[in-house]
Amino acid sequence: MMRRFSLVTRLTILYALISALVLCGLGVMVARATYLHFVDLDQAYLQGKASLLQGSLAQVTDSSKVDALLSQQMDSHEGLYVALDANPSQGPVVQNIDFSPLRAAKVSGSETFDWQSADRTLRGIKVPLENGEQLLLALDTHHHAHFMSQLNVSLAVYLLFATLLSGLLGWWAARRGLAPLRVMHERARKIDARQLSVRMPSADSSIELAELAQGLNLMLERLERDFERLSEFSSDLAHELRTPITNLLTQTQVTLTRDRDAHAYREILASNAEEFQRLARMVSDMLYLAKTEHGLELPNREPVVLEREVQALFDFYEAVAEESAVGLSLQGAATIMGDRLMVQRAVGNLLSNALRHARKHSVVKVIITRLPGAVELCVENEGAPIDEALMPRLFDRFFRTEKSRPHPEHNGTGLGLSITQSLMTAHGGTIRVASDQKNTSFTLVFPV
């Protein structure tokens, strides 16, 4: 298994490699520029000597004095070699310096040519004379080579130490720059189910780490909020399930204390069946709510004719409305895009609540209104007002307002409004409530 390196180590190695690459490029550029500078200097010097010799040779008429003139020029500068090439078939040899490579080289009078001769590195030029001969000049470049060797060693040593220094500075910078990550790590180790209020520091961090800290804090806020809701849900669920289970257990234990007739057993079983129905309805609602609260997508998106669905619900609740002496009224029409069964469930929950809390001989109104960019469906009933302090909690799970409203005999599970809100969220819509001394209305807003 390959060893994993820390982020500081990776940044240090990367910074050192980049520094080494940049320094190597700079060293090559310096060495190359120095070499070309020496070439230019040698070229200028050889051309100057060639011009001087051309003038001197033009004034010499005696061929015996040519050798003396050439020797005089060579003696005036150490490492300078001069030859007059008069025989194209054989290159001249001066002081063990073979000029044959220079004579055969295809270079002009302004270009230099490098070659090896007698353990020497030579740089030379050849200049044609008016009489058809060629003047060959060569310069020993051993002093340049020595300087370049020392320069290359110096550059290599500097590159080594500069790379090490860059690595150390990179390690220091990376460790200092990533210090907030260590603080986040220490704080993250403290987070558990009992300490979800811990937040990551973002004030003294860089922009990138501050954005990371803000993202983590938002995540922790969501987790804390969801955990609190889950804790409340568990507590409410235990409380809601305890009552029917206690009733069933108590009633069964009392029944078993003595023998009873068939009629008594039937009454007890009927009472138990009602409690079981309540438990089954509660479990079904909880499962549906769990599905809607965890990223539920619309199973079938299709055109939904709202007035048609409301009329179907009127037919379903007609018997309940007659029993409660409440009328049903529908106004308006509109078509939306959504899941028909989910829309039916949401409107049905509001209609059931309205019938439960409506005054006798009143009318439950369903009003459909088209708006720019939205469609509103309002379910309105006459009845006791909802306490304004209870408004924010109406959509909480298992929350009921029967203590302040009539008809306590209607025993709901307290999940209907929570389910309706989740269904509207799945449709990208919202739900709002309004209540005064006369009317209470719940409004579903569907986006178009």
User: Closest by alpha carbon to 12, among 233, 171, 123?
Assistant: 171
Which pLDDT score, from 0 to 100, does residue 237 have? 66
Spatial contact of 360 and 344, defined as CB atoms under 8 Å apart? no
Spatial contact of 306 and 343, defined as CB atoms under 8 Å apart? yes
- CATH superfamily ID and name for 297-447: Histidine kinase-like ATPase, C-terminal domain (3.30.565.10)
DSSP 112: -
SS3 content of the chain, % helix, strand, coil (to 5): 55, 15, 25
* Integer Cα distance of 82 and 92 in angstroms: 10
* CA 144 to the chain's CA centroid: 56
Spatial contact of 367 and 429, defined as CB atoms under 8 Å apart? no
User: Closest by alpha carbon to 222, among 184, 200, 196, 203?
Assistant: 196
Which pLDDT score, from 0 to 100, does residue 32 have? 93
Which pLDDT score, from 0 to 100, does residue 164 have? 92
HEC per residue, 213-237: HHHHHHHHHHHHHHHHHHHHHHHHH
Torsion of CA 394, 400, 405, 406, to 10 degrees: 140
Q: Is the backbone of residue 406 left (phi > 0), alpha (psi -120 to 50) or beta?
A: beta
What's the token pair of residue 60? 């010499």
Query: What is the residue extent of each domain of the chain?
Result: 7-164, 207-291, 297-447
Q: What is the CATH number of domain 207-291?
A: 1.10.287
* Strand (E) or helix (H) holding 81: strand 80-85
Burial class from Cβ neighbours inside 10 Å (0-12, 13-18, 19+) for residue 189 reads exposed
Distances (CA, A) of 328 to 31, 324, 325, 361, 381: 97, 11, 10, 11, 10
Is it true that 7-164 and 297-447 share their CATH fold? no
DSSP 391: G
DSSP 388: G
CB atoms within 10 A of CB 365: 18
What's the token pair of residue 392? 């924010």
Torsion of CA 84, 88, 89, 90, to 10 degrees: 20
Cα dihedral sign for 342, 347, 350, 356?
negative
Question: Strand, helix or coil at 372?
Answer: coil
Which pLDDT score, from 0 to 100, does residue 75 have? 67
What single letter denotes the amino acid at residue 120?
R
Which CATH number fits the domain 7-164, given the four candidates 3.30.1560, 3.30.1340, 2.40.50, 3.30.450? 3.30.450
User: Closest by alpha carbon to 135, among 165, 99, 173?
Assistant: 99
* Integer Cα distance of 86 and 92 in angstroms: 9
Digitized pLDDT (tens) for each residue of the chain, 448 residues in all? 446 778 888 888 888 999 999 999 999 999 999 999 999 999 888 888 888 877 777 666 665 666 667 777 776 777 888 887 754 444 465 666 888 888 888 887 678 898 888 778 899 888 887 777 788 888 888 888 889 999 999 999 999 999 999 999 989 988 888 888 888 888 888 887 777 778 888 776 677 778 888 888 888 888 888 787 777 667 666 766 776 788 788 888 888 888 888 888 888 888 888 778 777 777 776 666 666 655 556 667 889 999 999 999 999 888 888 888 999 999 999 999 988 888 888 898 899 889 988 988 899 999 999 999 899 999 999 988 887 777 777 766 666 655 444 333 445 556 778 778 888 888 888 998 888 888 899 999 999 8
What single letter denotes the amino acid at residue 336?
I
User: Closest by alpha carbon to 95, among 115, 123, 70?
Assistant: 70
What's the token pair of residue 143? 């002093």
Question: Strand, helix or coil at 260?
Answer: coil
Distances (CA, A) of 319 to 45, 363, 409: 119, 14, 17
User: Closest by alpha carbon to 333, among 365, 367, 303, 300?
Assistant: 367
| Biggest CA-to-CA distance, the chain | 160
DSSP 63: T
